[in-house]
Amino acid sequence: MTRIAIVAALLAAFATVGATNAYAAPAKLSYKQARKAAQTKGDAFAGQPTKISYLFRTGPRRYSASSKWRYTVTDPDGCTGCGYDPATGTFYDTPSTETFYCSADLVVLKRGRRVVAKVDGHSCF
């Protein structure tokens, strides 16, 4: 047998084996799956509904996302003498309210069949 015939026979044998034992490539993480996971993780982290401000693919099984929300804090002690009643001409105490604008950076990964979202960092100002 010539070398070409041997190589052709080996290629034919391995092609058959490869076809029957084909390796299935891992499934990609879809935009819909990533958005749902990012929204769920953002809401859980903030403790209230959030808005996904961006979501983009960084790999076949990985997305990067950002979740935004407003966080309002009311100080019951408030501000002494900050309110004014023009009818009586007197000052009164008012509760002070502060609103913070917060965001969380998220990473969404597909591990096997599971989709996992993690908080990569957060800030409020």
Q: What is the pLDDT of residue 24?
A: 55
| Residue carrying the six token digits 């009164």 | 92
pLDDT by residue for the chain (125 residues), tens only, comes to 677 777 677 666 666 544 444 455 568 999 999 999 999 999 999 999 999 999 999 999 999 999 999 999 887 777 878 888 899 999 988 878 889 999 999 999 999 999 999 999 999 99
The answer for residues whose C-beta is within 8 angstroms of residue 15's C-beta and 6 or more apart is: none
Q: What is the pLDDT of residue 97?
A: 85
- Rounded Cα gap, residues 4 and 23, in angstroms: 28
Cβ density class 24-63: b for 16+ within 10 Å, e for less = eeeeebeeeebeebbbebbeebbeeebeeeebeeeeebeb
Q: Which residues pair with 103 in a beta bridge?
A: 68, 123
Q: What is the pLDDT of residue 4?
A: 76
- Rounded Cα gap, residues 77 and 95, in angstroms: 6
